[in-house]
Amino acid sequence: MRCLLVADLHYALPQFDWLQKVAPRYDVVVLAGDALDLGSSVDFRAQIVVVRKYLQRVAGMTRLIVCSGNHDLDTRDRDGEKTARWISDLRSLDIVADGDCITLGDMQISVCPWWDGPVAQARLAAQLERDARTRAGRRWVWIHHAPPYATATSWSGSRSLGDIELVGQIAQHEPDLVFAGHIHQAPFRKDGGWTDRVNATWVFNAGHQYGAPPAHIALDTAAAEAVWISAMDVQCVRLDQPLVRPIPSAEALPDWLPRPAPADTAA
């Protein structure tokens, strides 16, 4: 199964244009939070309308999975905690969203909402407990906007900005893969990285760059490989081998990676 991971597009429409173009080449597309931009001059409600249309088009081409990030919170729930209601509403478009758990091939995928307080945090813990009971030997993938604390994927260049609670949840449940984002600079800083391991769990964060294409990660479960493509470098790791640092630049793109059409500039 070929998966495409992006995050932190932050209402960058050229990046959404690119995502729409390449989506049909993948079996699964994951947007791991922060589709919107709180700092944009564009009204938040208008951003939701535009991004929703992009996501609807992508969902018409392939399986799309979206989790909320801190920039996506648009309302408060009954407990007074911020939540991304518009993300939950994406289910009406056949998009897998916050709180969902689906099975695709040999993968079980849990979509984790951004938590803004103790009640939502407890709900997430309960969700993972519930999903653990249905794992049944499948490869378990978590979509979680923030990467775990004290990993290369959460390194800002001066300190770790990851989720401490997630470290404990990974230790308890031992998922196979965690797809994240949130820490824009992690892959581009000394001692940071686009991937790391917490015991046996692989963690990924493509990072954020301006312009199209966005920094992104392509992963093929059959080939047991993941490749990071950014303006800075292209790197590849084998998921069935230990992670060795520093990760060298790729000498060639993997054969399984979907190639761009002649008119495209990137894939």
Distance CA 7, CA 215 (A): 9
Residue 152 maps to a domain: yes
Confidence of residue 261 (pLDDT cuts 50, 70, 90): low
pTM of the predicted structure, to 2 decimals: 0.94
Residue 41 maps to a domain: yes
Residue 54 maps to a domain: yes
Distance CA 57, CA 67 (A): 17
Nearest 10 degrees: CA dihedral of 260, 262, 263, 266?
30
Residue 26 maps to a domain: yes
pLDDT at 264 over 80: no
Mean pLDDT of 106-124: 96
pLDDT at 41 over 60: yes
CATH code of 103's domain:
3.60.21.10
Structure token digits, residue 253 = 């793109």
Residue 244's pLDDT is 92
Contacts of 103 (CB under 8 A, 6+ apart): 109, 138
Distance CA 262, CA 39 (A): 36
- Domain range for 193 is 2-238
pLDDT at 185 over 70: yes
Residue 45 maps to a domain: yes
Residue 144 maps to a domain: yes
Residue 136's pLDDT is 87
Structure token digits, residue 200 = 């046996």
Whole-number average pLDDT of the chain: 95
Structure token digits, residue 220 = 């093929």
Residue 247 maps to a domain: no
The SS3 assignment for 18 reads helix
Residue 244 maps to a domain: no
For tokens 């992963």, name the residue. 219
Q: Looking only at Cα atoms, what is the longest distance across the chain?
A: 53
Mean pLDDT of 233-256: 94
| 124: enclosing H helix or E strand | helix 118-132
Total of domains in the chain: 1
